[in-house]
């Protein structure tokens, strides 16, 4: 009963957002019910639609966790995009340099290279915060732009694929490809890694001493310091851990989807990850469920654009309205 009572405001918020967006769709002259049927059910009508939703879910849940983990400690990581690129670069470096290794060695190297690459990209703003008290929002955002130049250099440098019409590296060794769970339609095993990471983050933040220290740091840094928690170290740890998680999303895109580094592979995962984290209100248990919902909307949006010619931006409006109404529901509930 308590769960239903807590969930009701959010359910009303989601319904209200769809009603509000439906008014816009109707004013544009489109069939509202057909549009929403396409958005909500494309992921479940065919095996391919469901697999595409799962593939979209993987980077979304990891990007969201890269935001919510530092949020637990009271810090805002807006650098998931750059950290994903850093992870992709680390993964492709391992996959190309050690291309001749067998899968049992190369796959862990590629994944580890991605995690380390993202963690390094997360360590930079963490170190700037620790050493010079530079706001992490500013430094993580600016590092995203640095990563754009870095991926362009890697994709047009010595590892470039001369036959590609877009900045792209050559493929990593086939031994670095993630094993497939299903071949037709293709689903790689990266989804297992994403689910394990989501479960691990939840267990760590809610069931361990280290997780309690993160929560205490975010709740009241001064009180946490009084009780012996190394607050500034918690800040650094949370940003580095977030960077590693975001880097893993880049490694999975390289090893499971693209099998190479492609400029622009980060797509709009950062923005969607932030939306998921905010809708979840930093609750790491809720993140996978919200991420799956957003993945359903994203896959449905593509189908809606193809079949009904409704602009895909309409789904962005729905997602933004969901976030807005969820935040407003808290205000109404408190009043």
Query: 201 — phi, psi (to 5°)?
Result: -65, -45
pLDDT at 18 over 90: no
Rounded-to-integer distance, Cα 121 and Cα 247, Å: 9
Distances in Å between the alpha carbon of 213 and those of 93, 221, 281?
35, 10, 19
The token pair that represents 251 in the structure block: 């490694």
Of 73-77, 78-82, 267-271, which gets the smallest average pLDDT?
Answer: 267-271
Average pLDDT, integer, range 274-300: 91
Which strand (E) or helix (H) includes residue 182? strand 180-183
Q: What is the pLDDT of residue 3?
A: 55
Rounded-to-integer distance, Cα 88 and Cα 243, Å: 12
> What confidence tier does 289 reach under pLDDT thresholds 50, 70, 90?
very high
Instruction: Tell me if residue 102 falls in helix, strand or coil.
Output: coil
pTM for this prediction: 0.94
Of 52-56, 156-160, 286-290, 304-308, which gets the smallest average pLDDT?
Answer: 304-308
Q: Tell me if 157 sits within 8 A of 176, measured CB to CB.
A: no
CATH class, 46-308 region: mainly alpha
Q: Tell me if 298 sits within 8 A of 56, measured CB to CB.
A: yes
The conformation of residue 158, written as its DSSP 8-state character, comes to: T
Which residues, in sequence order, are CB contacts of 11 under 8 Å at separation 6+?
none
C-beta neighbour count of 243 within 10 angstroms: 35
Q: What is the pLDDT of residue 2?
A: 58
Average pLDDT, integer, range 44-72: 95
Q: What is the pLDDT of residue 329?
A: 74
Average pLDDT, integer, range 181-192: 93
Q: Estimate the crossing angle of helix 209-219 against helix 231-252, to 10 degrees.
A: 110
What average pLDDT does the structure give for the chain?
A: 91
Rounded-to-integer distance, Cα 193 and Cα 208, Å: 21
Average pLDDT, integer, range 68-95: 96
The token pair that represents 4 in the structure block: 């239903």
Which strand (E) or helix (H) includes residue 11? helix 2-27
Q: What is the pLDDT of residue 174?
A: 95
> What confidence tier does 172 reach under pLDDT thresholds 50, 70, 90?
very high
Rounded-to-integer distance, Cα 187 and Cα 108, Å: 19
Q: What is the pLDDT of residue 184?
A: 87
Residue from 171, 83, 163 nearest 121 by CA:
83
pLDDT at 1 over 60: no
Q: Start-end ranges of CATH 1.10.3470 in the chain? A: 46-308
pLDDT at 82 over 90: yes
Query: 19 — phi, psi (to 5°)?
Result: -65, -45
> What confidence tier does 20 reach under pLDDT thresholds 50, 70, 90?
confident
Q: What is the pLDDT of residue 85?
A: 97
Rounded-to-integer distance, Cα 266 and Cα 100, Å: 27
R_g of the chain, CA atoms, integer Å: 21
pLDDT, tens digit, 9 for 90 and up, residues 110-150: 999 999 999 999 999 999 999 999 999 999 999 999 999 99
């Amino acid at each position: 009963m308590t769960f239903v009572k807590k969930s009701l405001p959010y359910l009303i918020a989601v319904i209200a957002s769809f009603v509000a967006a439906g008014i816009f769709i109707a004013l544009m002259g489109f069939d509202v019910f057909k549009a929403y049927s396409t958005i909500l059910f494309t992921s479940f009508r065919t095996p391919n639609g469901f697999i595409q939703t799962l593939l979209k879910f993987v980077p979304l849940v990891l990007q969201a966790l890269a935001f919510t983990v530092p949020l637990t400690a009271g810090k805002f990581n807006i650098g998931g995009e750059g950290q994903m690129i850093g992870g992709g670069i680390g993964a492709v470096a391992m996959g190309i340099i050690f291309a001749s290794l067998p899968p049992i060695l190369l796959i862990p190297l590629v994944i580890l290279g991605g995690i380390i690459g993202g963690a390094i990209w997360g360590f930079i703003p963490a170190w700037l915060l620790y050493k010079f008290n530079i706001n992490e929002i500013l430094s993580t955002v600016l590092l995203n732009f640095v990563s754009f130049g870095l991926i362009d250099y890697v994709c047009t440098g010595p590892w470039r694929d001369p036959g590609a019409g877009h900045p792209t590296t050559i493929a990593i060794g086939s031994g670095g490809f993630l094993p497939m769970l299903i071949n037709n339609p293709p689903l790689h095993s990266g989804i297992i890694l994403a689910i394990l990471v989501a479960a691990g983050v939840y267990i760590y933040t809610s069931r361990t001493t280290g997780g309690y220290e993160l929560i205490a740091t975010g709740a009241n840094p001064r009180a946490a310091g009084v009780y012996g928690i190394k607050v500034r170290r918690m800040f650094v740890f949370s940003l580095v851990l977030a960077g590693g998680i975001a880097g893993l999303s880049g490694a999975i895109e390289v090893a499971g989807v693209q099998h190479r580094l492609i400029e622009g592979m980060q797509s709009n995962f950062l923005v969607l990850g932030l939306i998921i984290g905010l809708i979840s209100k930093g609750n790491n248990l809720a993140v996978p469920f919200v991420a799956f919902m957003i993945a359903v909307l994203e896959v449905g949006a593509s189908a809606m654009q193809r079949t009904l010619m409704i602009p895909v931006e309409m789904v962005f409006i729905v997602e933004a309205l969901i976030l807005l109404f969820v935040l407003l529901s808290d205000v109404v509930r408190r009043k």
